[in-house]
Amino acid sequence: MSEVWQNQSALPGASATGFARVDEIGLRGAIVLRGDLSSSAVKNVATGIGGVDMPGTLGINLVEERAVAWMSPDELLLMMPYAEVDVALGQIHKTLEGQHYLAQNVSDTRAGFLVSGARAREVLAKLTPADVSPDAFPKGVVRRSKLGQVPAAFWLNDEGDIEVICFRSVAQYVFDLLANAAKAGSEVGYFSIPD
């Protein structure tokens, strides 16, 4: 029953090039972890799996394919290689047994895109009410907001390299939005480009 969508990302290989590039990122492991973020057990298991320090409010810490993102005062998104999710989830359940928490594998319910290029910020700025200026949206910040009509979250992997996640059911819509906003000739030039 599950072969159709498991082990395959939402839009494998989808890619568009304009004044910025848009690429689907492919499969990645993702776990929603909800609980008391001040509890040391929650912190330890999150940072252990994410391989990075605990982020503060609106923070994301990442290294290669791993990340811990602050999603709300009681929610983290843990990211890791797709093949490692089951082991990580088992580790969470084992560590937090008896505590008030929720952990859910959401790898196959999300889609991810990379928006790259010196004007990558501009692609996002056309689509979201969130402030994506360099001051408000530097590396290390994750924003949950909207792209067009749907919820999405985004952060910088590096300057000119923005990662976007959304629900898998709206992957095509979000890809089309991003590709359209990145069309060559539609640059606005609002943000100054870093050297």
Partner 1 sequence: MLMLKCPYCGVMADETELSAGGEAHLKRFGPQSSAEDFEGYLFARENPKGVHVERWRHVNGCGKWFHAARCTLTLEVFGTYSAQVTAPPQDIRDAIRAKHPDWRWRDMA
Binding positions for partner 1, rule: CB under 8 A: 57-58, 71-73, 75, 129-131, 143-146, 151
**Smallest distance, partner 1 to C-beta of residue 106, A:** 15
Q: In this complex, which beta carbon is closest to partner 1, that of residue 13 or of residue 129? A: 129
Q: In this complex, which beta carbon is closest to partner 1, that of residue 10 or of residue 76? A: 76
**Smallest distance, partner 1 to C-beta of residue 134, A:** 16
| Residues 7-46: b if buried by 16+ CB within 10 A, e if exposed | eebbbeebebebbbbbbbbbbbbbbbbbbebeeebbbebb
E strand segments, the chain: 15-17, 21-24, 29-35, 60-63, 66-72, 75-80, 101-105, 110-116, 142-147, 150-158, 161-167
> How far is 94 from 41, CA to CA, in rounded Å?
11
**Smallest distance, partner 1 to C-beta of residue 73, A:** 5
Q: In this complex, which beta carbon is closest to partner 1, that of residue 53 or of residue 131? A: 131
**Smallest distance, partner 1 to C-beta of residue 177, A:** 15
Q: In this complex, which beta carbon is closest to partner 1, that of residue 145 or of residue 157? A: 145
